[in-house]
Amino acid sequence: MRFLRGVLVFSLVLLFLAVSFSVMAQEYPVPREQAVVIETDTNYTVFDKANPFVPRGNQWGSGWHQLANEWDWYINYATGETIYWRITGWEYSEDHKSLTWNIREGVKWNDGTPYTAEDVVFTINLLVENKDLIGAPVVENVVSAEVVDTYTALIKFKQPEYRFHHELRMWGGIMVVAKHVWEGKDIKDFDNWPPVETGPYKFNRYYKELNMFVWERDEDYWAKEVFNKFPGPKYAIFRMAPPPDIDLADFIRGGVDAPLPHIFTWDMIKAAQRQSENVVLAPYMDAVSQGICSFNCAKYPTDSKDFRWAIQYVTDRDKLARVYPMAERSYPTMWPWPDWKALDKWEFPEIEEKYGPELTYNPQKAEEVLDELGFKKGEDGKRRTPEGEPLSLVLLTRPAPDLGYFHATHLSDELAKIGVEGVVKAVDPGMAGELVNIGSYDLFFDVLDVAVAFPNDIYFFFESFHSKHARPLGEYQTSGDRGRSRLKSEKIDAVAEELAALDPEDPEYMSVAKTGLDTWFEELPAVPFIEKMFVQTFSDMYWTGWPTEDNMYHVPYQWWPSFIFVLFNLEPSE
């Protein structure tokens, strides 16, 4: 008993020490009320490097892309607004063989040096001359870039160019670097650390073991003077998100302001709302389109467009929208891109009229089509292929709570009703990607990662379905989401090629785009189901001014470089 008493006393002393120490210990290296804490899913492995030209030259999700680095212009997907940021605009020559790039006066690097045409020209020529750098393929059509004057650059092309301006905005383009910093350096070895950039935050410090980067506001940020824009938080902390339950608890007690997107299900968000008054909801359509099912168009029987249409008839979009797990609600959609204003222009009424009524739940029609195609029901009520083999489809998805899992199980149930076996294969995200890459599936439930590319130019959408990306079954796809369906359609190819040679401003452009969409729906390499809504949560315990449902002034949020426009709106909570 004496021993047990001793243990009890020891425990009480320990508890007392813990309570006292918790007052002393600080979770963040800067005052919490001055810092905005942002989450990412990245396990940081690259430190001390901000070189965009070499593999592993920088760390995604560390805040470098989101806070320090800037692009010349942006598109606000929520509103469709074009934001000319470090530039005042651009003009193509009449023959589209040159582009004049007008740089804004007053833009400065964070070391005080002005941002000029010299920087743009230096970066483009660097890529033109060094074919092995990341980003070099983007300038394949560029002959050279030259400085016209301090704030004007001229980019000359080999062939007429219509969409080069997109290369200087957002992901995948040319990240302009400071000439005065990079010139004369060995580009492949240069670390650019601490990074000299034009963004509102400068590097402060990182903690390797804590998976944390700390950024400090640049008090001389150029946009303060030029646009009267200045971020509210003095510090911005990027950290790797802990497991969802822990993250939710931390979010409720104010440990994080902008949790990792998609980390909380709707039920978890409701639980957070019950326990905290500081939960801000910002509904958001996923940047990479909505719930969609891609068919494997290189594999029997999904290589038949009629078969693909039959499958789409057994999808009850209304039901899927009702049981949607990531937000309070969702809604059916027929368009293969998110419901952003910036993309509204591609939703042609004629196409909606033609295919809208067809993209509905109609199991009877599905049965008719399958009968016509020779997939007849046997005595056991199960359908067989015309060759007499059992008709079985692999429905590949990631496990719950991934949206695709709910779609796949729904479709499996519906397929069973019409005598088709739909085997749901729910595998780890990494494995799902592998199986898609080698074409080992019939239907894959995911998102379509092309929408971000084409708010002003639907060419990128058709290009992603071009047959040049389609590899034979079993052969590894190296084109990312492009060609996932392995579709081979001469008509789609022709549309993509025609659009490639057209200025998006050309009157003919919209007509080609419309024809292309008509063909796309006819071919149906993928079926859009419902809008992939999710709710981005923010906490207003320390900061107010987050986007909300009533004022969704900017999307996407913290994982995009355009997040600075949200930070400009933040103010300390009272």
Partner 1 sequence: MRSRLASYAIRRFFLYLLIFFISLTVFFFFLNLVPGDPVTRYVQELEARYGLTTPISEEIIREYKEAFGLDKDLFGRYTSYLKRLIFEFDFGPSFVAFPTPVSELIIDALPWSIGLLGVSIIISWVLGILFGTILGWRRESKVASFSLVLGLILSQIPPYLLALVLVMVFSFALGIFPMGGAYSPLIEQGFNLRYIIDLIYHAFLPAMSLILVYTFGTMISQRALVINILGEDYIKLAEAKGLENNRIIKRYILRNTLLPQTTGLALSLGFIVNGFFLIEWIFNYPGIGRLFMTAIRQMDYNVLMGITVITMFGVLAANFIIELLYPLIDPRIRR
Residues binding partner 1 (CB under 8 A): 1, 3-4, 14-15, 18-19, 21-22, 25-29, 43, 45-46, 52, 55-56, 60, 132, 134-138, 170-173, 207-212, 240, 242-243, 245-246, 249-250, 252-253, 255, 430-431, 433-435, 437-438, 440, 449, 476, 478-481
**Residue 328 and residue 321: Cα distance in Å, rounded?**
10
In this complex, which beta carbon is closest to partner 1, that of residue 131 or of residue 322? 131
- Shortest Cβ 566–partner 1 spacing (Å): 20
In this complex, which beta carbon is closest to partner 1, that of residue 47 or of residue 89? 47
- Shortest Cβ 25–partner 1 spacing (Å): 4
Judge whether 52 and 168 are in contact, CB under 8 Å: no
- Shortest Cβ 249–partner 1 spacing (Å): 4
- Shortest Cβ 56–partner 1 spacing (Å): 6
In this complex, which beta carbon is closest to partner 1, that of residue 240 or of residue 400? 240
In this complex, which beta carbon is closest to partner 1, that of residue 184 or of residue 430? 430
- Per DSSP, the three-state class of 479 is coil
Number of H helices, E strands in the chain: 16, 19
Judge whether 329 and 533 are in contact, CB under 8 Å: yes
- Shortest Cβ 474–partner 1 spacing (Å): 10
List CB contacts of 360: < 8 A, sequence separation 6 or more: 313, 317
For 3, the token pair is 């021993």
In this complex, which beta carbon is closest to partner 1, that of residue 116 or of residue 265? 265
- Shortest Cβ 207–partner 1 spacing (Å): 5
- Shortest Cβ 564–partner 1 spacing (Å): 18
Using CA of residue 247, residue 248, residue 249, residue 250, what is the dihedral sign? positive
- Shortest Cβ 9–partner 1 spacing (Å): 15
In this complex, which beta carbon is closest to partner 1, that of residue 245 or of residue 506? 245
Question: Cis peptide leading into 386, omega within 30 of 0?
Answer: no
List CB contacts of 328: < 8 A, sequence separation 6 or more: 266, 535
In this complex, which beta carbon is closest to partner 1, that of residue 253 or of residue 329? 253
- Shortest Cβ 366–partner 1 spacing (Å): 31
In this complex, which beta carbon is closest to partner 1, that of residue 138 or of residue 510? 138
List CB contacts of 179: < 8 A, sequence separation 6 or more: 118, 119, 122, 123
- Shortest Cβ 101–partner 1 spacing (Å): 20
Judge whether 508 and 521 are in contact, CB under 8 Å: no
If 0-12 CB within 10 Å is exposed, 13-18 middle and 19+ buried, where does residue 15 land? exposed
In this complex, which beta carbon is closest to partner 1, that of residue 262 or of residue 377? 262
- Shortest Cβ 167–partner 1 spacing (Å): 9
- Per DSSP, the three-state class of 39 is strand
List CB contacts of 494: < 8 A, sequence separation 6 or more: none
- Residue type (1 letter), 180: H
Dihedral pair phi/psi, residue 393, rounded to 5°: -120, 140
- Shortest Cβ 380–partner 1 spacing (Å): 32
Tell me 113's DSSP state: P
User: β-strand 543-544 against 526-528: which pairing, if any?
Assistant: unpaired
- Shortest Cβ 107–partner 1 spacing (Å): 23
In this complex, which beta carbon is closest to partner 1, that of residue 107 or of residue 133? 133
- What is the maximum alpha-carbon separation in the chain? 94
If 0-12 CB within 10 Å is exposed, 13-18 middle and 19+ buried, where does residue 348 land? middle
Q: Got the DSSP string for 91-103?
A: EE-TTSSEEEEEE
Nearest to 545 by CA among 530, 562, 531, 565: 565
In this complex, which beta carbon is closest to partner 1, that of residue 17 or of residue 148? 17
In this complex, which beta carbon is closest to partner 1, that of residue 184 or of residue 474? 474
Nearest to 169 by CA among 307, 273, 70, 37: 70
In this complex, which beta carbon is closest to partner 1, that of residue 392 or of residue 440? 440
Where are the strands (E) in 352-469, listed by range? 392-397, 421-426, 443-446
